[in-house]
Each structure stands twice: as structure tokens, then as C-alpha cells.
A and B are shown apart, each in its own frame.
Chain A
Amino acid sequence: MSYLDTTSTKLLKTYLPLGLFLFVLLFPFYWMGVTTFKPDNELLSRDGNPFWIISPTMAHIEKLLFRTEYPQWMWNTVVVSVTSTFFSLFASVLAAYAIERLRFKGAKQTGLAIFLAYLVPPSILFIPLASVIFQLGLFDTRLALILTYPTFLIPFCTWLLMGYFRSIPFELEECAMIDGANRWEILVKIILPLSVPGLISAGIFAFTLSWNEFIYALTFISSSEVKTVPVGVVTELVEGDVYHWGALMAGALFGSLPVAFIYSFFVEYYVSGMTGSVKE
């Protein structure tokens, strides 16, 4: 049994591999950080110790913030992620409640259809979707992203919230009905307050998923001032054959920080949401 292991075997069989995993999984982030603050002459030199910075510089960050449209991309990403998250949560709460509690005719099939919708990958949808966006006159607007992101957010959030609503006892609703509450009042005053943890995990998922989205933003947006961070960094910061690695890594680092920051506050919700949705 593992708890009978001596300290040295435990060190060798548990902590050593765990340390290796941790090193490999976190190294790219360390490397982003180091590159961000390293002056060009150190970056483009094979001498010395590249793992360390001799004279740290803010030049790359300054270039990123003042000589590119990075702040604008950041703002776009925030606007798109926040609005599509709220819209998706709204639609998903209603849908999940209807499927799970109203039990209308065909609710079961609708639930299955929602799950299947989650399995449709954006990389097979983006071409026809681009032509739909074009026909609606939404090409190259933030609205194009705000309206298309919910296609992968709603199925996921609905699925997650359905599981959550299922865990709330029916009796609570029945009592409220006897007291004369209608469905809307039940949803707003009883179900929603009880499912705050579920709403939080659905919200974080939706937010990180839309912050990460790439292929729709790449296809539907062409002007720099409408781009999101992932697409802006990839398409605009790479100029010709000279790569400004410092600024690129700074862009990657700052683009990662907001999601990492939010995630760190709600990590328990995130993990339980993630595992719950797979176990269903």
C-alpha cells in the first residue's frame, strides 16, 4: 500500500514524476515571462545563461502598449467575452429549466439535441457560418462574435445547468406553487439563488471559452481595431521575417493573465464543473 512506502520510495515514485510534470506544464509560462522582460541583445544571444535576465527591460511592454493596438484588442476581447457569456447564461438558464423542470413534450429529445450541438466543432462550421455572417451584414463587427460564440457556449452551459437544477428538490417548487408563485417567480426567487455555484462555474467556462476562441475571430474579422487578443497577437505582431519575440511573448503573457486570474479565484467551481459535466 502506498502509505506504507518509505520516504525515499515515495520521493522517487511520487514527487519526482510529479515535479517533472509540473516543470513541463509550467515551463512555457516561465519562458513567456522571462522573454517579456529580456532585452533584445540577450534574447538573440547564445552566450550566457538564457534562463535568467541580466538587465530586465520594459521596452517590449512599452512597445506592446503604446505602439500596437493591443489595448484595443484587449478591450474587444473583454466586450465580446462578457456579453456573449451573459447572453449565453440567460438563454441557458431558461433552456435548462425548461428541459429539466417544465418537462414539456419533447424535452428529452431537446436535451439530447443540445448535447449533440456541443459536439459540433467550430472548425467544421466556420466556412458556412462566415457566409451567414456576411449575408447578415455582420462581417468585421464585434456583434458577429457576440452572436456566434453562444453556439458553443449555450450547449455547454445548458448541459452543466441541467445537472445542477436536477439536484434541487422538487418539493421546494411545489411549496412555492401552492403559495401561488408562477414559474418565472419560482425560477428567479428559488432556483437561481440555489444554483449560484452552478451559475458561477458555467459563467467561468463561458468566459474562458470565449476568451480562447480563435477560428471564428480569425475568419469573421479583418480590421485590426475589431480583433481579439489571440488573433491580434498572431496576425498583427508578426511582421515579415523579423520576429519581435519580446513583444510577442508580452502579448501572450498579458492575454493569458485575465483568464488565469479569474480562474484562480474560482478554481474549485471550475474543476467541479468540468468533472461533473464529463461524469453525466
Chain B
Amino acid sequence: MLERIQNSRNVLGFIFMLPATLLLLLFLTYPLGLGVWLGFTDTKIGRGGEWIGLENYIFLLGDSVTQLALFNTMFYTTVASVLKFFLGLWLALLLNKNIRFKSFFRAVILLPYIVPTALSAIAFWWIFDSQFSIISWVLMKMGWIDSYIDFLGTPWNARLATLTANVWRGVPFVAITLLAGLQTISPSYYEASAIDGATPWQQFWHVTLPLLTPIIAVTMTFSVLFTFTDFQLIYVITRGGPLNATHLMATLSFQRAIPGGALGEGAAIAIAMVPFLLAAILFSYFGLQRRAWQQGGSDK
């Protein structure tokens, strides 16, 4: 009997998969399904809910705070991802050059990504403090402004401040993964193109960028995914304020569900993020496939 189990790949595979599968089914797949179901109910904390169909979603469509949160999330994701891409690519290109202390730079630059986001967010909260901000202090001393800037007190200032913190945290990830991509490009391409008289810009445009596209697609999908569902930075720095101006879908969902007690409504907001996330994944997946086909690769 024991002999048979050891020789059957299927039985053994099943046993080996058991711990991971059980845990993921109980704490990931089941909650995901439960979340979809909760979104169709009017469940409150401490009280089971009734099926109310699309009522939550219809209410949220007309709810101005949800509309604002959706706008904020789109704005935050788009601007932060674009900035992270350009700054990250620039940093990767700099680190790919022949510089001293390369491994030191590479190690140090990842620090914002390693350190707990909630804790670095507190540092940003202090840096953006309305009365003692170090940024305001420097600008005042340089004579560029007359009074301290209220970074977190007005809607657009607060949006840009949280955006800055998000970009600060995300650039290292993009830079390091793109750097890894850059290092896989064979130097012979650059030699060949240099012999043909290509300028550095032409080399970047016709050699680096096309060869880097697959890894850019994967990196940016991850980046977009994590920015879109960001919770910590906003929760710590502004809690969605001032006047809901910085609420993202995730923070609004938390606020309605946990302190607000409306579990069903909160779940509906969270589930409403899923189509956007799927779109991001599919976009990157099909973009990659098309790319592979164009370069002569076979369809997978």
C-alpha cells in the first residue's frame, strides 16, 4: 500500500499539494467567493445580510464619494505608474552604466521598497506636516515661498503629496527589475549598431527598448496592480481626507466596511476593483503575445 502511494505521481502530488491547497482554498478562494456574495447583500457588522441583488452597485454608481474615489484611483494609478516607469527606467539606465560602487548603489536604492510602507508613510506624514514641514522650511529659506505650504490640507496638495510618497516607494522596484532586463541584453548588439554609426539615442530606441519590452510589460503590470490596490500610504498619511479628496477604492472600502460597519457595501467597492485589475493583466498578457509574434516567436 505504502509502496503504491510512493510510486503514483498523482497520489503523491495530491499529498504534497495538500498544505498549500487547503490554506489557499480556506483563506483565499473561499473569501474571494464570499466577497462577491457579500457585495450582493446588505450585511452589517454583527448582523447577517439579505440578498439585495445589484442594489449596492446601483447605490455606489450614484454616490459622489465613490465616484471621487474611482477618479482618484485612476488618477493616482495613471500618474504614479507613468512617473515610476520613466524614473525607474532612467535609474536603471544610470545603474547599468560603468560606475563605481555599483553593487552598493543597487543595494541601497532598494531600501524604500524593503522598509514597511506604513512606517515610511509616517515619515512622509511628518515631512509634509503643515507647520514644521522640512520642505516648506527649505523653500522659505530660499525665498521661494512666503508661508508654509499646507501639503495635506487642500485636495490637490494632498493628492500630489500621497502620489509623491507612492512614487518614492515604487521606483526602486521598477528600477531593479528593469536593470536585470538591461543586463540580459548582449553587448554585441550595441557594438554592431555603433559600427553602423548609430547614435546613443538610436541605440536606446532601436536596441534597448524593443529588447526590454517583455520585462517592461511584466514589471509595469505588477506596478499598476499594486498602485491600483494601494491602501497603506493613503490610510496612514491622509485617511482619505481632506474631504475624501485622497480616498482610493481600497481605503473607501475599508472605511465603509470596518469603522462604518457596512460589510456588504465595502465588499461591493472592493469587488468593483476586480474588472480593472483583470483588464491590466489581460492588457499585459496579450501585449506580450503580440510582441512575441512580431519578433518571430511562435504563439504560445
A residues with a Cβ closer than 8 A to B are 1-3, 14-15, 17-18, 21-22, 24-26, 28-29, 31-32, 35, 43-44, 46, 50-51, 90-92, 94-95, 97-99, 102-105, 107, 110, 114, 117, 119-132, 147-148, 150-151, 154-155, 158, 182-183, 208, 211-212, 214-215, 218-219, 229-231, 233-234, 243, 245, 248-249, 251-252, 255-256, 259-260, 263-264, 267-268, 270-271, 274-275, 278-279
- The answer to whether A98 and B16 have CB atoms under 8 Å apart is yes
- The answer to whether B27 and A151 have CB atoms under 8 Å apart is yes
Question: B163 within 8 Å of A by Cβ?
Answer: no
Instruction: Output the nearest chain B residue to A184 by Cβ-Cβ distance.
Output: B6
- The answer to whether A208 and B114 have CB atoms under 8 Å apart is yes
- Interface of chain B, main secondary structure: helix
Bound together, the chains give a CA A176 to CA B250 distance in angstroms of 51
Bound together, the chains give a CA A234 to CA B225 distance in angstroms of 25
Q: Name the residue among A1, A121, A129, A147 with the largest chain B CB count within 10 angstroms.
A: A121
Which residues from B are CB-within-8-Å of A25?
Answer: 108-109, 111-112, 168, 171-172
Question: B34 within 8 Å of A by Cβ?
Answer: yes
- The answer to whether A183 and B12 have CB atoms under 8 Å apart is yes
- The answer to whether B24 and A21 have CB atoms under 8 Å apart is no
Q: A94-B17, A234-B118, A234-B236 are in contact. Are A154 and B177 (CB under 8 A)?
A: no
25 contacts between A and B (CB under 8 A): A14-B94, A25-B172, A28-B120, A31-B123, A98-B16, A98-B17, A124-B229, A124-B250, A125-B32, A127-B253, A127-B258, A131-B263, A154-B23, A214-B232, A215-B231, A215-B250, A218-B235, A245-B132, A248-B122, A249-B126, A256-B120, A260-B115, A270-B110, A275-B181, A279-B181
- The interface size bin for chain B is 35 or more
Task: Please report which residues of chain B, range 194-246, place their CB below 8 angstroms from some CB of chain A when the two chains form the complex.
Answer: 194, 200, 215, 218-219, 222, 225-226, 229-232, 235-236
Instruction: Output the nearest chain A residue to B2 by Cβ-Cβ distance.
Output: A182
- The answer to whether A233 and B9 have CB atoms under 8 Å apart is no
Bound together, the chains give a CA A105 to CA B176 distance in angstroms of 37
Which residues from B are CB-within-8-Å of A208?
Answer: 114
Q: Which of B13, B132, B200, B257 contacts A43 (CB 8 A)?
A: B132
Question: B137 within 8 Å of A by Cβ?
Answer: yes
B residues with a Cβ closer than 8 A to A are 6, 9-10, 12-14, 16-21, 23-24, 26-28, 30-32, 34-35, 38, 87, 90-91, 94-95, 97-99, 103, 105-112, 114-120, 122-124, 126-127, 129, 132, 134, 137, 168, 171-173, 176-177, 179-181, 184, 190, 194, 200, 215, 218-219, 222, 225-226, 229-232, 235-236, 250, 253-254, 257-258, 263, 266-267, 270-271, 273-274, 277, 281
For the complex formed, measure the closest distance between the CB of B265 and the CB atoms of chain A, giving whole angstroms. Answer: 10
- The answer to whether B281 and A117 have CB atoms under 8 Å apart is no
Which residues from A are CB-within-8-Å of B263?
Answer: 127, 131
Q: A121-B277, A123-B253 are in contact. Are A92 and B23 (CB under 8 A)?
A: no
Bound together, the chains give a CA A94 to CA B109 distance in angstroms of 34
Bound together, the chains give a CA A97 to CA B20 distance in angstroms of 12
Bound together, the chains give a CA A29 to CA B273 distance in angstroms of 33
- The answer to whether A120 and B32 have CB atoms under 8 Å apart is yes
Which residues from A are CB-within-8-Å of B16?
Answer: 94-95, 97-98, 102
CB contacts between A and B, total, < 8 Å: 277
Which 3 residue pairs across A and B have the least CB separation, nearest first? A104-B13, A275-B180, A98-B16
For the complex formed, measure the closest distance between the CB of B121 and the CB atoms of chain A, giving whole angstroms. Answer: 8
- The answer to whether A128 and B267 have CB atoms under 8 Å apart is yes
Instruction: Output the nearest chain B residue to A262 by Cβ-Cβ distance.
Output: B114
Bound together, the chains give a CA A182 to CA B270 distance in angstroms of 46
Which residues from A are CB-within-8-Å of B20?
Answer: 91-92, 94-95, 114, 154, 158
For the complex formed, measure the closest distance between the CB of B76 and the CB atoms of chain A, giving whole angstroms. Answer: 13
Which residues from A are CB-within-8-Å of B90?
Answer: 17
Given contacts A31-B126, A130-B258, 11 further A-B contacts (CB under 8 A): A18-B105, A26-B111, A29-B123, A95-B19, A98-B12, A102-B12, A124-B271, A127-B38, A256-B115, A275-B179, A275-B180
For the complex formed, measure the closest distance between the CB of B231 and the CB atoms of chain A, giving whole angstroms. Answer: 5
Instruction: Output the nearest chain B residue to A149 by Cβ-Cβ distance.
Output: B27
Q: A230-B119, A234-B122 are in contact. Are A104 and B23 (CB under 8 A)?
A: no
Q: Name the residue among B28, B94, B103, B218 with the largest chain A CB count within 10 angstroms.
A: B28
Instruction: Output the nearest chain A residue to B180 by Cβ-Cβ distance.
Output: A275
For the complex formed, measure the closest distance between the CB of B65 and the CB atoms of chain A, giving whole angstroms. Answer: 17
- The answer to whether A119 and B123 have CB atoms under 8 Å apart is no
Bound together, the chains give a CA A103 to CA B12 distance in angstroms of 10
Which residues from A are CB-within-8-Å of B200?
Answer: 1-2
Which residues from A are CB-within-8-Å of B184?
Answer: 279
Instruction: Output the nearest chain A residue to B109 by Cβ-Cβ distance.
Output: A25
- The answer to whether B126 and A46 have CB atoms under 8 Å apart is no
Which residues from A are CB-within-8-Å of B122?
Answer: 233-234, 248-249, 251-252
Which residues from B are CB-within-8-Å of A91?
Answer: 19-20, 23
Which residues from A are CB-within-8-Å of B236?
Answer: 234
For the complex formed, measure the closest distance between the CB of A218 and the CB atoms of chain B, giving whole angstroms. Answer: 8
For the complex formed, measure the closest distance between the CB of B88 and the CB atoms of chain A, giving whole angstroms. Answer: 10
For the complex formed, measure the closest distance between the CB of A149 and the CB atoms of chain B, giving whole angstroms. Answer: 9
Bound together, the chains give a CA A263 to CA B176 distance in angstroms of 15
